[in-house]
Amino acid sequence: MRKFNSSILVILSVLIILFVVMRLFMIPPTFGEFGWYRGESVREIANQSHKFADTYRCFECHIKEYAYWEVGGHSTVECESCHGALKAHTINPEEYKGYGEFLSPNTYPSIQAFCLSCHSESTSKPESFPQVKVSHTKYWNCTTCHNPHYPEVER
Ligand code: HEC
Ligand code: HEC
Ligand code: HEC
Ligand code: HEC
């Protein structure tokens, strides 16, 4: 019985020493600088470049879309909520064309799918939010009747 106990003690102390040594090598140097995480990660995230421009930047070159958008039913939806992060585009529109960005209409199978991603009828949405059944339009593109930058139908 005594023998058994002491061999367990030896194994335990070896494990503890191994743990302490491995811990020394495996914990990143800045861990715990601010809290229970790698301090360096804060600086890494802070150093990332901005991907979004700002809606007022679009005005410089897309005055027509902006002028409609500003007074229309989509004025609460930022340009980049529909067209994706476009900072690179505002700096160099020739190289970064402004379509194909994540979220942009071109990344959906159709304009219908794009509009319905926000407007399809659902009981989970507030009643005041404008919603349509998919059957609202079967054969027509949403943009045949609605200007995306001024969506209310003019009659
Ligand atoms: C410095 C001028 C400039 C700024 C600022 C700018 N754009 Fe553009 N944009 C252009 C030009 C030029 C084109 C046409 C590119 C081409 O097709 O060669 C374009 C094209 C686009 C297109 C694609 C049009 C198409 O034919 O499908 C979209 C969408 C777009 N811009 C959205 C935006 C948004 C949103 C912003 C603000 C975040 C913005 N742009 C800011 C100059 C600009
Ligand atoms: C609710 C979503 C939505 C918002 C918000 C939005 N757009 Fe668009 N935009 C679209 C769609 C959809 C198209 C494509 C229209 C088509 O293909 O018929 C488009 C097309 C464009 C085009 C290409 C030219 C054209 O008329 O086809 C430009 C440029 C553009 N948008 C700029 C902007 C700018 C600038 C803003 C903000 C002031 C903005 N958009 C806000 C959905 C949006
Ligand atoms: C990113 C989400 C989003 C997308 C995509 C989007 N919308 Fe909207 N739409 C909104 C919001 C938000 C409102 C404003 C709701 C409010 O004011 O209560 C709105 C309002 C509207 C209205 C009511 C305008 C009014 O005041 O009478 C129509 C019509 C509309 N959208 C059509 C479209 C069409 C067509 C498309 C596709 C080209 C589209 N929307 C794409 C979010 C979106
Ligand atoms: C044939 C023309 C036409 C097409 C195509 C069309 N709409 Fe409409 N839409 C209308 C008209 C007209 C109204 C206004 C109805 C009213 O005021 O009673 C409207 C109203 C809306 C509204 C506001 C509903 C509300 O509760 O205020 C939304 C959102 C909307 N449409 C989204 C879409 C979407 C998304 C598509 C594509 C899937 C689309 N529409 C295609 C004609 C059209």
Looking at every residue in the chain, the average pLDDT score rounds to 90
- Pocket of ligand 2 contains residue 149 by CB under 6 Å: yes
The angle at the Cα of 76, spanning 60 to 73, to the nearest 5 degrees, equals 95
Give the pLDDT band of residue 153 (cuts 50, 70, 90): confident
Helices of type H across 47-133: 55-59, 63-71, 79-83, 87-91, 111-119
Q: Is the pLDDT at 143 greater than 80, yes or no?
A: yes
**CB contact at 8 A, 81 and 103:** yes
pLDDT digits (tens, 9 = 90+) for 47-59: 998 889 989 999 9
Q: What are the CA-CA distances from residue 14 to residues 18, 22, 24, 63 (Å)? A: 6, 12, 15, 72
User: Where are the domains positioned within the chain?
Assistant: 2-46, 55-145
Cα dihedral sign, 143-148-149-153: positive
Atom of ligand 3 nearest to the CA of 145: 35
- Pocket of ligand 4 contains residue 147 by CB under 6 Å: no
pTM for this entry: 0.87
Q: Could you give the CA distance from residue 24 to residue 89 in angstroms, rounded to a whole number?
A: 46
- Which of 65, 68, 74 has the most ligand 3 atoms within 8 A of CB, as the residue to mutate? 74
- Pocket of ligand 4 contains residue 128 by CB under 6 Å: no
Q: Could you give the CA distance from residue 35 to residue 17 in angstroms, rounded to a whole number?
A: 25
Mean pLDDT of the region 18-25: 94
**CB contact at 8 A, 53 and 87:** yes
- Which of 79, 80, 86, 110 has the most ligand 2 atoms within 8 A of CB, as the residue to mutate? 79
pLDDT at position 2 is 59
In single-letter form, the type of residue at position 26 comes to: M
pLDDT digits (tens, 9 = 90+) for 68-99: 999 999 999 999 999 998 999 999 999 988 77
Atom of ligand 2 nearest to the CA of 77: 5
Atom of ligand 3 nearest to the CA of 128: 18
- Which of 55, 82, 101, 115 has the most ligand 3 atoms within 8 A of CB, as the residue to mutate? 115
